[in-house]
A and B are shown apart, each in its own frame.
Chain A
Amino acid sequence: MRRYFSRKLLIYLITFFLAVTIDWLIPRLMPGDPIQNMLSRAALNANAAETMHTYYTHAFQLDLPVWQQYLSFWNALFHGDLGISTYLFPTPVAKVIKDAVPYDIFLLLPSILLSWWAGNKFGAFAARTKRLDNTVLPIAYLLTATPYMWLGILLAWVFGIILGWFPIAGAYSFTMGTQLTWVFVGSVLKHWFLPFASLFLVGFGGWAIGMRNMIIYELEADYSHYLEALGAPRRLIRRYAFRNAILPQLSGLALQLGVIVAGALVTEVVFSYPGIGYLILSAIQNQDYFLVQGCFLFIIIGVLLANFLIDIAYVIVDPRTRKGMVGE
């Protein structure tokens, strides 16, 4: 067991090092100069532009040799310093992310987990049930093939504009500040619902189809036929099939949970919902090295962490993994 985990841990550490190095490198390969972009928005008095360019290039250490920038990046990282955003100057990157990530977690965690749970349950239930297979599953196909944006706009149009049940923009009403009151909580939930629903529906369709196909595969497996031949009840066979079918779905879940801090760009744009997805896009467009680095750092950590957790979960849910460890 210890050997299994220490080996895993080593692999994760190497992956982290490589991923973070690439994360540092990629933004710097973009054509253009972040300081110029930051200053050009200022519509500066011309004489000041050059002085300020030199000043900020130095302040951001972009005048140092590349290898020195790389070393000081790691040094800063170990001190918990992600640098300062040029796009949202002078906000520290850590603060930008800290302000945005709660919205992503609040939106994505429930939608991913619930759609995973409901989709799997439903897919397993629908598999080999003729009526459901023929009626509801086509809808699931339609849902999962729907672009988030299109579904989002459709939901906003029907429930936001025509019926007027839900607001179409923001994380809470523009008529109030943040406050610990019922009106505010209600407003937050109301604004949360449509983006959540659009993510949930698309996710639900995907999981349901995946699960349905898995179950059919498992029901055709030798062990199912063997159980059938032994005269085991249908419920029992399906339960075994479900346990086996859930394993690949679990890996899929890990990947989705890992990128949770990346947000849901399109959904956030359609509903003007604050979150990190839109920030990443703006950061890339504005060549904000530091914000891009910071955001992707969290994605890297998220993916690795989620995978690690799923590794542990596998040990629990899949006896074969445990067997393998003992065999070593």
Chain B
Amino acid sequence: MWWKNKKGISTLVLILCVGLISALAVGQVYDRSETLYVSGAAWGPASTWNPFQPGNLANTTGTLGLVYETLFNYDPLTNTMIPWLAESGAWVTDSSYEVTLRNGLTWSDGTPLTAEDVAFTMNLAKEYDALWFAPMWNYVLSVISIGDYVVRFDFTDAPLYQEFDNNLYNIPIVPKHIWETKTEEDITIGANANPIGSGAYLYDTHASDRNVWLRNDSWWAIDALGLTPAPKRIVDIRFSSNNVALGSVIKGEVDLSNNFLPGVAGLSDQGIVSTYYKGAPYMLSANTAVLFLNTTIAPMDDAAFRKALAYAINVDDIVNIAYAKLVAAASPTGLLPSLSDFADQDVVAQLGWSYDPAMAKQILADAGYVDVDGDGYVEAPDGSAIALEVTCPSGWTDWMAAIAVISDSCKAAGINLEDVTPDYGAWNTQMQTGTFNMTLNNWAAMSNTPWTLYNLLFRHPIQAQMQSGNFGRYDSQELFDLVDALAAIQTTDIAGMKAACSEIQKVMLAEVPMIPLWYNGMWAQFSTSTWTNWPLDGANTPSRLPTTWSGYWQLGGLMMLCELELAE
């Protein structure tokens, strides 16, 4: 028998090996000059391509913006709405809005994209409360398509214009011919594998540590707008540690990293990586880190104490030490630089604050906070001891360093404040149930309207669980009315918006319900070894958000792709 002798076996092994060798082709690797490598958007393995699932979309960042598109795009740097799927949009009356779509829009399967798709998408939220934009239907009466190109929104007599404009560049339009047969569960929570959209890229493949997007060469905007994204492929990589991300961008293996990497300031100065600004703060500002104060607990229920805190915190140390100059100090109004037009500088000059420990001590003393027992920390006016905690999630190293600074500078001013870092879950629960003293939060995304920030800061009504804002439960009907008034102002009425914001700021800066501290950066460090013409500050350079974060492609990320050039 042939298998009984060694020769037979080795012959068999040889045959198997040869068979295996010939079965495996040589293989294909992505052409470096056609591929853009990015990282920093995803924090976990890809799990959903459902554009209505904002929670996990960061892990497949291209789903919203590259695959599915919105009616408008928005450019925060110039504060303009850019017609996208829509050619134009206008308020026909105070309670009726009409969108006209572009001609020649198509889905990536070749089907035309029409007004019916838009109306269908909007009506999904009327039917299913679980979709995030369902609250729009509190003030929308109907959305209908008129012909192939016109969509009309009819409103109640009290539309929230500010939120509606925000929705125009955030609601992804989905194809009716595919989604109309889906069940409720598929629409609201389904994973939507192999997504069919209208955008510049198509889903190519994914693994637990990467997502790959392939350019859609029949994208409507190539003809209509003359835009072509430069990279044929985008490989979005998830690194599990920062040092790997940093190493990869230094070596030029990753072109754009949107991770927060401590120490980038020095690397940028030496020209090893590039950043949007040449000097501090190096990064564009993306959102405001706000110190929420639990106003249901003494002494944070006392405006004087809160104001003393605002003076006591050394924001410069947070910027220079905790962040090594990668962020900028925030305006007391909390409004991002892109919305600084809405910050009333007179109010800021009159009521604003800056780091001044002497002033903090003075305010405390005047309000009756004195060190009675001589331990170096003040006691409350009624003589009871003050021992407070400031929190952030464990493992968020930049915030951990920041609350250490907050604790140190408050102690220096005589306020006994310890920094504590619970697990993310515990932190989140404390925040939403109001069982914290002070905590950091930055959940207001970059926006076309200051209302987005105020909706986070002054979320109302006050409930047992505050899930998405006003964690400190600051209860002021006056302020709530002002925020509601702002929400109902037309976004074209800039003067009216400014006046409303000014009123809000007067109360906010006098009462200090919470303390805006610094602007978290739109972390972006890029390598110019393969791709150039990155967004940079200055004339004759592209001014875009250099980001791949989910929800930011339509805020400039996509334009960045179209403007990239291959390095010589």
Query: Is B29 located at the chain interface by the 8 A CB criterion?
Result: yes
**0/1 interface trace, chain A 27-56, chain B, CB 8 Å (1 if under):** 000111110111111111111111111010
- Decide yes or no: A285 and B423 within 8 Å by CB, A33-B429, A52-B130 being known contacts: yes
Shortest Cβ distance from residue B2 to the other chain A in the assembled complex, whole angstroms:
29
How many A residues have CB within 8 A of the partner chain?
A: 65
**0/1 interface trace, chain B 125-149, chain A, CB 8 Å (1 if under):** 0000111111100100000000000
Query: Is A174 located at the chain interface by the 8 A CB criterion?
Result: yes
In B243-288, the 8 Å CB interface with A consists of 243-244, 247-248, 253
Q: Which partner residue on chain A sits nearest B129 by CB separation?
A: A51
Cα A153 to Cα B205 in complex, Å, equals 30
**0/1 interface trace, chain A 273-293, chain B, CB 8 Å (1 if under):** 010001100100111000000
Query: Is B48 located at the chain interface by the 8 A CB criterion?
Result: yes
B residues near A45, Cβ cutoff 8 Å: 132-133, 135, 163, 468
In A73-122, the 8 Å CB interface with B consists of 85, 87-91, 96, 99-100
Query: Is B32 located at the chain interface by the 8 A CB criterion?
Result: yes
Q: Which partner residue on chain B sits nearest A265 by CB separation?
A: B240
Query: Is B26 located at the chain interface by the 8 A CB criterion?
Result: yes
Cα A46 to Cα B238 in complex, Å, equals 29
Query: Is A180 located at the chain interface by the 8 A CB criterion?
Result: yes
Whether A40 contacts B428 by the Cβ 8 Å rule is yes
Whether A181 contacts B24 by the Cβ 8 Å rule is yes
A residues near B456, Cβ cutoff 8 Å: 46
B residues near A169, Cβ cutoff 8 Å: 209, 237, 239, 244, 248
Shortest Cβ distance from residue B249 to the other chain A in the assembled complex, whole angstroms:
12
B residues near A87, Cβ cutoff 8 Å: 44
Cα A85 to Cα B191 in complex, Å, equals 12
Which of B24, B395, B423, B468 contacts A44, CB < 8 Å?
Answer: B468
Q: Which partner residue on chain A sits nearest B467 by CB separation?
A: A49
- Place the interface of chain B in its size category: 35 or more
**0/1 interface trace, chain B 35-48, chain A, CB 8 Å (1 if under):** 10100000011011
Query: Is B53 located at the chain interface by the 8 A CB criterion?
Result: yes
Shortest Cβ distance from residue B73 to the other chain A in the assembled complex, whole angstroms:
19
Whether A44 contacts B132 by the Cβ 8 Å rule is yes
Whether B244 contacts A46 by the Cβ 8 Å rule is no
Whether A40 contacts B467 by the Cβ 8 Å rule is yes
Which of A46, A161, A173, A271 contacts B468, CB < 8 Å?
Answer: A46
Cα A40 to Cα B432 in complex, Å, equals 10
Q: Which partner residue on chain B sits nearest A164 by CB separation?
A: B251
Shortest Cβ distance from residue B351 to the other chain A in the assembled complex, whole angstroms:
27
Q: Which partner residue on chain A sits nearest B441 by CB separation?
A: A40
Q: Which partner residue on chain A sits nearest B21 by CB separation?
A: A182
Whether B468 contacts A181 by the Cβ 8 Å rule is no
A residues near B541, Cβ cutoff 8 Å: none
Query: Is A308 located at the chain interface by the 8 A CB criterion?
Result: no
A residues near B210, Cβ cutoff 8 Å: 170, 174
Which of B133, B138, B241, B425 contacts A30, CB < 8 Å?
Answer: B425
Cα A176 to Cα B32 in complex, Å, equals 11
Query: Is A61 located at the chain interface by the 8 A CB criterion?
Result: no
Cα A325 to Cα B425 in complex, Å, equals 51
Query: Is B208 located at the chain interface by the 8 A CB criterion?
Result: yes
Query: Is A231 located at the chain interface by the 8 A CB criterion?
Result: no
Whether A89 contacts B55 by the Cβ 8 Å rule is yes
Query: Is B76 located at the chain interface by the 8 A CB criterion?
Result: no
Query: Is B152 located at the chain interface by the 8 A CB criterion?
Result: no
Shortest Cβ distance from residue A120 to the other chain B in the assembled complex, whole angstroms:
28
Shortest Cβ distance from residue B373 to the other chain A in the assembled complex, whole angstroms:
33
Shortest Cβ distance from residue B231 to the other chain A in the assembled complex, whole angstroms:
13
Cα A171 to Cα B432 in complex, Å, equals 39
Whether B24 contacts A182 by the Cβ 8 Å rule is yes
Whether A47 contacts B247 by the Cβ 8 Å rule is no
Whether A179 contacts B28 by the Cβ 8 Å rule is yes
In A135-188, the 8 Å CB interface with B consists of 153, 161, 168-171, 173-185
Query: Is B3 located at the chain interface by the 8 A CB criterion?
Result: no
B residues near A55, Cβ cutoff 8 Å: 129-130, 188
Whether B425 contacts A274 by the Cβ 8 Å rule is no
In B400-427, the 8 Å CB interface with A consists of 422-426
Shortest Cβ distance from residue B493 to the other chain A in the assembled complex, whole angstroms:
22
- Decide yes or no: A180 and B24 within 8 Å by CB, A100-B208, A170-B209 being known contacts: yes
Which of A30, A153, A268, A285 contacts B240, CB < 8 Å?
Answer: A268
Whether B428 contacts A37 by the Cβ 8 Å rule is yes
Q: Which partner residue on chain B sits nearest A84 by CB separation?
A: B189
Whether A179 contacts B467 by the Cβ 8 Å rule is no
Whether A34 contacts B135 by the Cβ 8 Å rule is no
Query: Is A269 located at the chain interface by the 8 A CB criterion?
Result: yes
Whether B44 contacts A36 by the Cβ 8 Å rule is no
Shortest Cβ distance from residue A149 to the other chain B in the assembled complex, whole angstroms:
10
Shortest Cβ distance from residue B527 to the other chain A in the assembled complex, whole angstroms:
14
Query: Is A315 located at the chain interface by the 8 A CB criterion?
Result: no
B residues near A184, Cβ cutoff 8 Å: 27
Interface pairs (21), CB distance under 8 Å: A40-B443, A42-B55, A43-B551, A45-B135, A46-B469, A51-B130, A55-B130, A89-B55, A89-B56, A90-B190, A168-B244, A168-B247, A168-B248, A170-B210, A174-B37, A175-B29, A181-B25, A183-B26, A183-B27, A274-B45, A274-B209
Can you name 7 extra interface pairs (CB under 8 A) apart from A176-B29, A182-B25, A274-B208?
A32-B426, A44-B132, A50-B467, A55-B188, A89-B47, A169-B244, A174-B37
| Pairs of residues from A and B, 8 with the lowest C-beta to C-beta distance, nearest first | A181-B27, A183-B27, A32-B425, A47-B135, A42-B55, A88-B47, A46-B468, A287-B425
